[in-house]
Amino acid sequence: MDLHIRITGRAGRITLARPQALNALTHDMALAIHRALDDWQGDDAVALVVIDAQGDRAFCAGGDIAAVYHAGLAGDHQLGRDFFRDEYRMNAAIADFPKPIVAFMQGFVMGGGVGVGGHASHRIVGDTTRIAMPESGIGLIPDVGGTWLLSRAPGRIGEYLALTGARMGPGDAIHAGFADLFIPEVDWPALIATLEQDGDVAMLRGQPAPAATLDRRDLSAFGGRTLPEIIAALEAAGDTEALAPLRRNAPLSMAAGLAMVRAARADTRMQQSLSREFRFTARATADSDFLEGVRAQIIDKDRQPVWRQDPTEDKLRAMLAPLGDDELLWEDAE
């Protein structure tokens, strides 16, 4: 069983239960989480929802995209579109849930894991937490509402994280707006038990988090208008640490991620960001470097992707153009 969904006391409980796979999110898991939230929304017995995960290595290290890869390789691009569409609808359901959702995020919280935990109303991190949006390393873009979160990070942190895929510890995650409270993980079981019993988030109290580091870094280079301008500024500054991932990650993904984080700053609700993300991911298996990135990083693990897509203005426009009948729409669209 990949998920353990139940009601305990006054809490709806969702536990990711694939620790051997770092709790990677499958299509079925995304659908099941969404169904549970729909069931509990009008259930007066459920005062709040707790989302946690088994194992100590990861809350959720990302989406399980092997099936999307193999389908895309065989010319079936619909399977990926269906997965991303349903995943994003689940992400929006978490963000808009009318009752408190408390997410306990240990270990790796990446990509699809941010989509599950990062939109909860109360996001708790501990000593082992490492949060990242590393999609540009596999030829994708920060999705699952990631561009929405990145667009609201202070300064140029959003651009920096989108392009580099850098990992944040608990202090940086709180500073960047990806988490709310630092609580030592040893305290989590008792805290969850109290939430189950009382159904009240008022008792949640954070402790001083490890110091943030992103607030002390000069990220002004990431204010460059284009990816080449950012790279040139980093070269001029001699910032080899930031340059290394930019020379390694997919150019089209980085250029698109940069544009999408900046576009999301004008969004008034996360659904707008999700719909924009879907324009890229719906085309990803057919028209981007995504399949090659997954092959190199996840399937063959040779870590030697050959990026073929040139991030021209025309290509960017094509990847982010409306999808017509396939556009990700929302029933409550304003």
CA distance 97 to 7: 17
Residue 280 and residue 323 in contact, taking contact as beta carbons nearer than 8 Å: no
Q: Measuring CA to CA, how many Å separate 145 from each of 45, 172, 238?
A: 29, 19, 32
Q: Phi and psi (nearest 5°) for 44? A: -65, -20
- Which residues are designated catalytic? 63, 112, 135, 143
Q: Are strands 3-8 and 122-125 parallel, antiparallel or unpaired?
A: unpaired
Residue 307 and residue 289 in contact, taking contact as beta carbons nearer than 8 Å: yes
Q: Is residue 6 left, alpha or beta, with left meaning phi > 0 and alpha meaning psi from -120 to 50?
A: beta
Say how many C-beta atoms besides its own lie within 10 A of residue 239's C-beta: 17
Residue 122 and residue 100 in contact, taking contact as beta carbons nearer than 8 Å: yes
Query: Using CB atoms within 10 A of its CB, is residue 171 exposed (0-12), middle (13-18) or buried (19+)?
Result: buried
Q: Are strands 3-8 and 48-53 parallel, antiparallel or unpaired?
A: unpaired
- What the block records as the tokens of 302 is 């040779």
CA distance 301 to 192: 38
